Amino acid sequence: MRYLNLVIAVLLCISSCSKNKQTSIAPVVTPIVVNPVNATLKDMPFKFGASVNAQQLVNNQPYKALVIKEFNSLTTENALKFATVHPLEGHYDFTDATNIVNLAIANGKRMHGHTLNWYKSLPAWVTNFQGTTADWENLLKTHIQTVVGQFKGKIASWDVVNEAFEDDGSYRNSIWVQKLGTDYIARAFEYAHQADPNALLFYNDYGQEYSTAKRTAILNLVNNLKARGIPIHGIGLQMHTRYNQSDANITLAITTAAATGLLVHISELDVALNPDNNLSLTYTATLAEQQAAKYKSIVKAYYTIPKAQQYGITTWNVTDADSWISSTYNRPDWPLPFDANFQRKAAYQGILDGVK
């Protein structure tokens, strides 16, 4: 009996000491968990979106259902590019863009407009336009202010100027530079701001994760615009990247963009699995896991920047079936978090894991 009493006393002492120890340490901080079975990308701690195709929304019900279920921010894929929305001089076609915007409004989603100025996707009437510098300036101003004005109060943000730099950091010799000089960029932002003073305005470009020269040129541009009082609110990092891109380079692109103090939007994310254009490549579990790891590292790096600067992450297209990559490069590839059958891939969990 004495032995039993001794054992009980020792156990009580251990229990008491353990409780005392627990009360002396800081409470455990529970990490954000967004991977319950019923979680979607809308449950991320920042906006998560996709660029969407107007015709798919009309004609492909599973596509539309997935967009409504998973995303809380939408980008107009092609519907607001110059050739689509302004195909003829003096004539605008807002049909596709309006359909996307209406869907966004009906389902409580933020709307991002892409893009007011680009060197590509120009209609013949623009490439063949004959006029003075003043005529070209009027063309630029009228286009921007008509498009932004049409969706004032409905589209929250815009890619104002898209891809103005070459990979070597020099200004792209676009028709806009040829006709108006490089400072047309500043005026484009001013025109957009005049048309909708409440809209957030972004400079958008690719390659910031692999070209130091290009990244430096972009940072110099946006810092110069800020210093001059030009209304610019954010940087769009397209992030059309690949599964074997350096994590360090991706992180550097994100953190240096944030160092400007502007909003940061990963605006056109996809992770290519076949950057070498191997026509016989097949999708494997190994590639799936490598892609998931890359999505996770991108999201993790993005999540470390100040929350007030996290404008969100947007994938370019919705599923592997509607990705621009396979058709553009004529190769098999699987760059997005959803497969051709609208099912979540390993990359989807990688995104969720990035904010754990």
User: Any idea which residues carry the catalytic annotation?
Assistant: 163, 268
d(CA 231, CA 188): 10
